[in-house]
């Protein structure tokens, strides 16, 4: 190649050896030239004078955007620091990843890795549409310590019961004003009583404003840590018999003053996913109103002759906390005393009875030894005592009131009703 031209590349430019005309111009003082390079969603692309390209955004931001865009392909986040996990979660929430079709899968990815940190407390009080629209996503929160479902119209056979009984860390559960009957409470605890596991940490339970009776108390004996119970506005009324059943079955005493733990003003959604729950609610406001949703459900089920029953369930929500009706209600709270108390609550059951009987004793001429034998006896006893010895009625009535608690004490085992219930699944 004698006589041919020789070219060399310097600073991204070709130059022919010995040809000064092709010499490059002097670069700027900073050594860079801004080009009209295209931009992308991650930032502006710039080029150096020597021809290399550079992103104005950091490598971490580029990687974060890539992970969020492909979150459905991530197998696990276990082992990643919480700081990184929260950054990824916030970026995904801002991109409305948890409101799309793969929301439950993405939420489960974070729930398995960060548990309670993702969401430790969930308050859905009187938020019936949100619960039923986001049922699949809500079931991914498996590390809840507090769950408020007051006024969510669950009924006796809701699919959420299975998820509730699987929450091993649950400490507080509020299921008041849900149309729960004795059968519903039996169904809710059936899995726990069958496996002898589940809800081991539950300490606070609110079943107020539900049509449950004293008979349903035996279904709660499978909750070993239960220390506070709210049965206000149910089929139960304060009486010596109810107090005796509460003590014999659950070891709980009646509290004359309302317990602060049942005051729902401090209940809130707490965790990373709080912003996601707020997004769900804001999206739900753009959908048809709750009344239209209820009417459509009743219309669909009316063909099967169940419209009246469905209407009753949809209208069974309890009062909103803080309303006039709520402030005037009679509180019926029970609590577990300190560990040192091991005797039957004679001081809480008998004082009113003894005071009333002392007033009646001088008039009826009854000795002071008979009232202690008649603990828990109804007011129909005086007519039956006429002409009868003072020893026989107390013995018969004392046995009749003590036998139900003895039978209920063995209620932790599965009964025939439980077997029929399990067979219906």
- Tens digits of residue pLDDT in 163-212: 999 999 999 999 999 999 999 999 999 989 888 778 999 999 999 999 99
For residue 422, pLDDT over 80 is answered with no
For residue 34, pLDDT over 50 is answered with no
For residue 12, pLDDT over 80 is answered with no
**pLDDT reported for residue 8:** 75
Under DSSP, the state recorded for 203 is -
For residue 236, pLDDT over 90 is answered with yes
Rounded mean pLDDT, 308-324: 47
Distance CA 209, CA 69 (A): 46
For residue 234, pLDDT over 90 is answered with yes
Calculate the CA 347 to chain-centre distance: 36
Q: How confident is the model at residue 57 (pLDDT cuts 50, 70, 90)?
A: confident
**pLDDT reported for residue 375:** 46
Distance CA 55, CA 64 (A): 15
Q: Which residues make up the CATH 3.80.10.10 domain(s) of the chain? A: 120-269
pTM of the model: 0.66
Distance CA 391, CA 381 (A): 13
CATH 3.80.10.10, domain 120-269, yes or no: yes
> Helix or strand or coil: residue 183?
helix
**pLDDT reported for residue 78:** 94
Please list, residue by residue across 128-151, b when 16 or more beta carbons sit within 10 angstroms of its beta carbon and e when fewer do: bbbbbbbeebbbbbbbbbbbbbbb
If one compares 417 and 401, the residue with the highest pLDDT of the two is 417
pLDDT tens-digit readout, 89-101: 999 999 999 998 8
Distance CA 291, CA 317 (A): 13
Rounded mean pLDDT, 321-342: 69
Residue 121: CB partners within 8 Å, gap ≥ 6?
144, 145, 146, 147, 267, 268, 269, 270, 271
pLDDT tens-digit readout, 126-174: 999 999 999 999 999 999 999 999 999 999 999 999 999 999 999 999 9
**pLDDT reported for residue 5:** 78
Distance CA 316, CA 275 (A): 29
Give the Å distances, CA to CA, from 308 to 57, 295, 313, 317, 319: 61, 12, 9, 16, 22
**pLDDT reported for residue 195:** 83
Rounded mean pLDDT, 262-284: 89
pLDDT, mean over the chain: 75
Can you name the residues that pair with 230 across neighbouring β-strands?
A: 206, 333
pLDDT tens-digit readout, 102-127: 899 999 999 999 999 999 999 999 99
Share of the chain above pLDDT 90, in %: 48
Structure tokens at 183: 């059968």
**pLDDT reported for residue 343:** 57
Give the Å distances, CA to CA, from 58 to 53, 273, 398: 14, 27, 80
Distance CA 307, CA 157 (A): 17
For residue 297, pLDDT over 70 is answered with no
**pLDDT reported for residue 120:** 95
pLDDT tens-digit readout, 368-396: 444 444 444 444 444 444 444 444 444 44
Rounded mean pLDDT, 223-244: 95
Find out whether 208 and 177 touch, Cβ atoms under 8 Å.
Answer: yes
> Helix or strand or coil: residue 258?
coil
CA angle 96/97/100 to nearest 5° reads: 90
**pLDDT reported for residue 14:** 79
Q: Please report the DSSP string for 175-197 in residue order.
A: --SS---HHHHHHHHHHHHHHT-
Can you name the residues that pair with 425 across neighbouring β-strands?
A: none
Q: Is the dihedral angle over the CA atoms 299, 302, 303, 304 positive or is it negative?
A: positive
Calculate the CA 319 to chain-centre distance: 19
Residue 134: CB partners within 8 Å, gap ≥ 6?
280
Q: Where are the alpha helices (DSSP H) in 222-289?
A: 240-245, 274-284
**pLDDT reported for residue 313:** 46
**pLDDT reported for residue 110:** 96
Structure tokens at 279: 């997004």
Instruction: Please tell me the number of Cα atoms within 13 Å of 111 on its side-chain side.
Output: 19
């Amino acid at each position: 190649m004698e006589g041919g031209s020789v070219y060399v590349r310097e600073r991204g430019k070709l130059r022919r050896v010995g040809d000064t005309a092709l010499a490059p111009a002097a670069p700027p003082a900073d050594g860079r030239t801004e080009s009209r390079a295209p931009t992308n969603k991650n930032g502006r692309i710039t080029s150096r004078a020597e021809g290399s390209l550079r992103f104005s955004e950091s490598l971490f931001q580029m990687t974060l955007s890539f992970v969020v865009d492909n979150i459905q392909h991530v197998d696990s986040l276990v082992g990643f620091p919480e700081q990184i996990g929260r950054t990824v979660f916030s970026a995904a929430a801002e991109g409305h990843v948890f409101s799309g079709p793969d929301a439950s899968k993405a939420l489960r990815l974070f729930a398995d890795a960060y548990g309670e940190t993702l969401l430790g407390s969930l308050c859905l009080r009187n938020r019936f549409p949100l619960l039923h629209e986001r049922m699949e996503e809500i079931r991914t929160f498996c590390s809840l310590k507090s769950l408020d479902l007051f006024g969510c119209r669950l009924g006796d056979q809701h699919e959420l019961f299975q998820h509730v009984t699987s929450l091993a860390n649950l400490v507080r559960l509020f299921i008041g004003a849900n149309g729960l009957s004795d059968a519903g409470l039996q169904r809710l605890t059936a899995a726990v009583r069958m496996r002898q596991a589940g809800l081991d940490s539950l300490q606070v339970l609110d079943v107020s404003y539900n049509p449950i009776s004293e008979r349903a108390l035996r279904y709660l004996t499978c909750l070993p840590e239960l220390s506070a119970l709210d049965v206000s506005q149910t089929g139960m009324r304060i009486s010596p018999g109810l107090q005796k059943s509460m003590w014999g079955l659950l070891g709980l005493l009646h509290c004359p003053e309302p317990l602060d733990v049942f005051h729902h003003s401090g209940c809130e959604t707490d965790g990373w996913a709080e912003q996601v729950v707020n997004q769900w609610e804001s999206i739900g406001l753009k959908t048809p109103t709750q009344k239209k949703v209820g009417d459509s459900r009743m219309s669909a089920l009316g063909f099967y002759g169940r419209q009246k029953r469905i209407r009753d369930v949809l209208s069974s929500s309890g009062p909103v906390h803080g309303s006039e009706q709520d402030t005037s209600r009679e509180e019926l709270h029970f609590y577990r005393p300190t560990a040192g108390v091991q005797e039957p609550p004679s001081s809480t059951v008998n004082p009113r009875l003894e005071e009333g009987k002392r007033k009646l004793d001088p008039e009826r001429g009854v000795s002071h030894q008979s009232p202690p034998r008649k603990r828990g006896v109804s007011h129909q006893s005086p007519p039956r005592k006429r002409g009868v010895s003072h020893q026989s009625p107390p013995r018969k009535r004392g046995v009749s009131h003590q036998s139900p608690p003895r039978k209920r004490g063995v209620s932790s085992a599965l009964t025939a009703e439980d077997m029929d219930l399990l067979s219906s699944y």
